[in-house]
Structure 1
């Protein structure tokens, strides 16, 4: 199997594209002072939502205790960033650790180990509160924590043009300070939660997909999930209607994820069936090297790297033909070898890979070589 490093290197260049328009400014931020009492209540009532990526609480007891100590001392608290979702909930962009720390302390259970939450006994904590749980504080001290306000900067997307707006993705990318630079798919997982996101997680566990991707378990930075999303986006009717020639992969996938986040169960089932059927036929036709290129020095040997452009062209060609009831041409292995040696195809999978004409060309050539038909 390919290593995680080789897979990451093979897709790095396509991950680095960015936005060239001003959609970042298609937002209306405002400030609001919210008490921790209100934030906890909103969180418990599912009106304040943490992104899936931030599921794990990472502060240790000393860090959490220091923060509670700061509140009791009346020290200022850094601002948090929230985003208003379509259904009027608030998505936590930055500030999850602070909110959860106070919530944990008030309810008396530390999220990280599910044990009782008493403040650390270190000399960095004021001696009045060392080792104390919330219930052991005075009424005045308890109210001080709950009534402490924290300034929130809230982002709301403009309503028009909603289908072409990527501002929230960019806000999250620029502002989130969770300690590491997020990949594009990690940001989508945070911003565009919903039925499509859930479907991508489920499909990413498919045994045959894991074999063809080349890693037994999910890739930690969600790049494997992004390829599944790529398959759906590049094979969609919306993509076929795009007139623009030079495309940003990041923007294209952001918009597809955003506009399809709330698909219904029927649509999700149809999408799952398409992907699984295409993946299984790819494995049946070409084995574990279905999405690998041939060696430049030996056209009978495959390189170990997963190729994004070979993946999208071959899998979309398979999906299109399968849905039309067209069987593969005889000798699929030989046909794939001929495809990979075709000069036009080699150019389309290696140069200006996000030009729409090159995307269409490589899918078309894959359709002709593997199924003897034009791509539709």
Structure 2
């Protein structure tokens, strides 16, 4: 298996801003805890699909509940109003909302499925120490349910693609570890393409090639698959632009395929499996690895630019039917990795159109003997 895959690069640190941010309206609301629990229970407000698991410790949850019982102020929650569904997605505040639901409605601690009782510690006021919600006095129950938590609600009025909401997530999310780009896309662009990414990411041959059997908790494996889909387009590598923004390109691809047809999704699923199967069978688990700088040994980590060029080149070759007589692909791949032009295109200015085109063209030439 590969070492830890490090994706920190100019692509990941890329930032952008555009006028979409100024087409977003926001307003304040003050729902009671009772209202928040009911809305969460009925699905009117929800955590984006597989966004982030519940991570609070029992101490954190207990201290939060105690703060409300004491009447202390707590931070605002942030919600995104999604016009298409009429629902609101939780940008920031899931840990708090889930804690309230578990303590008051469910009575089960989400951490280990035990009865949810506040910790029996001096950190908690002795009036509530070690108590479940049902053990509180009626006055305390009422006080907790009637507590109002300020909510800031965002809605993008124009354009209707929610592109500005990506920036809202990016700038406002404050809970623990900041969400990365793909985690934010998973929040903003829920739909058919997002569901497809989760499905194909489980494919066993892909897990071998990725180098980890467990799905990446930060969704970097999902972003790689999305990268392949989004860059595998003649509009991209035959563009007249000098450079693209990877972040914006992936965002636009996700948004444009939120409601993609069943046929389109099935085609993309089959395409991914076919390309992955061919690469795994003919190049092995090191297919997306690079060479060390002295070109003498394999560097055991997946390189995104090696990945996208070999994936896209293989996809093109399969569609053209140019693979039946291909032999010795492992040796040809090593020759590709030693080529100076290819090495420059995968390491410098990787989102320049010329370099995207060059690395795909090189992969097609060295591996399959055809031109882009």
Q: Same fold (TM over 0.5)?
A: yes
Q: Is the 8 A contact 1:54 1:96 kept in 2?
A: no
SS of the aligned residue for 2:351 comes to: coil
SS in 2 for 1:83: strand
Q: 1:335-374 residue pairs with structure 2 within 5 A?
A: 335-374=332-371
Question: Separation in 2 of the partners of 1:2 and 1:189?
Answer: 26
1:95 deviates by 1.1
Identify if the C-alpha distance between structure 1 residues 67 and 294 changes in structure 2 by more than 3 Å, giving closer, same or farther: closer
Looking at structure 1, the residues matched to 301 and 215 of structure 2 have their Cα atoms a distance apart, in angstroms, of 17
Matches of 2:358 and 2:92, distance apart in 1: 42
Partner of 2:288: 291
Distance change (3 Å), C-alpha of 1:237 and 1:45: farther
User: Alpha carbons of 1:240 and 1:75: their partners in 2 closer, same or farther (altered >3 Å)?
Assistant: same
Whether the 8 Å contact between 2:192 and 2:260 is mirrored in structure 1 is yes
Q: 2:318 aligns with which of 312, 319, 322?
A: 322
1:261-311 CA-partner distances (Å, limit 9, x unpaired): 333443222212111111111123322232223444346x43323221121
Matched, 1:304 2:304: no
Correspondence list, 1:209-358, <5 A: 209-236=206-233, 239=236, 243-298=240-295, 301-327=297-323, 329-358=326-355
3-state SS in 2 of match to 1:263: coil
Distance (Å, rounded) in 2 between the aligned partners of 1:367 and 1:60: 51
Q: 1:319 to 1:130 in 2, by over 3 A?
A: same
* CA 1:331–1:106: 2 relative to 1, 3 Å: closer
SS of alignment partner, residue 288 of structure 1:
coil
Residues 149-198 of structure 1: CA deviation (Å, up to 9, x unaligned): 111111111232x34x5322221122212211332222222332333223
Contact 1:3/1:215 (<8 A) preserved: no
Say whether the 8 Å CA contact 2:30–2:148 is kept in structure 1. Answer: yes
Partner of 1:77: 74
Q: Does 1:18 align with 2:19?
A: no
CA-CA distance at 1:349 after TM superposition: 1.6
Q: For the structure 1 residues 316 and 140, does the alpha-carbon distance in structure 2 shift closer, same or farther, using more than 3 Å as the test?
A: same
Q: How has the CA–CA distance of structure 1 residues 134 and 338 changed in structure 2, closer, same or farther, with 3 Å as cutoff?
A: closer
In terms of mean alpha carbon deviation, does 47-56 or 147-156 score higher?
A: 47-56
8 Å Cα contact 1:169-1:188 kept in structure 2: yes
In structure 2, the partner of 1:156 is 155
Cα separation, 2, equivalents of 1:293 and 1:63: 44
Q: 1:292 to 1:102 in 2, by over 3 A?
A: closer
User: 1:33 — aligned with what?
Assistant: 30
Give the aligned partner of residue 147 of structure 1. 146
**CA distance 1:264–1:350, shift in 2 (3 Å):** same
Please give the residue correspondences for 1:45-124 in structure 2 after superposition, counting only pairs within 5 Å. Answer: 45-85=42-82, 86-107=84-105, 108-124=107-123
- Counterparts in 2 of 1:357 and 1:146: CA distance versus 1, 3 Å: same
Higher mean Cα deviation, 257-266 or 37-46? 257-266
Unaligned runs of 5+ in 1: none
Q: Is 1:3–2:42 an aligned residue pair?
A: no
Structure 2 unaligned spans of 5+: none
Instruction: Report if aligned partners of 1:18, 1:251 keep a CA contact under 8 Å in 2.
Output: no
Residues 90-135 of structure 1: CA deviation (Å, up to 9, x unaligned): 1111111221222222122222222222333434433433343323
Structure 1 runs (4+) greater than 4 angstroms displaced? 240-243
Which structure 2 residues correspond to residues 124-139 of structure 1 after superposition, within 5 A? 124-139=123-138
Q: Which moved more, 1:249-258 or 1:330-339?
A: 330-339
What TM-score do the two structures reach when normalised by structure 2? Answer: 0.89
The CA distance in 2 between the partners of 1:356 and 1:205, in whole Å, is 31
| Alignment partner, residue 195 of structure 2 | 198
The CA RMSD measured in Å over matched residues stands at: 2.5
Aligned partner of residue 11 in structure 2, secondary structure? helix
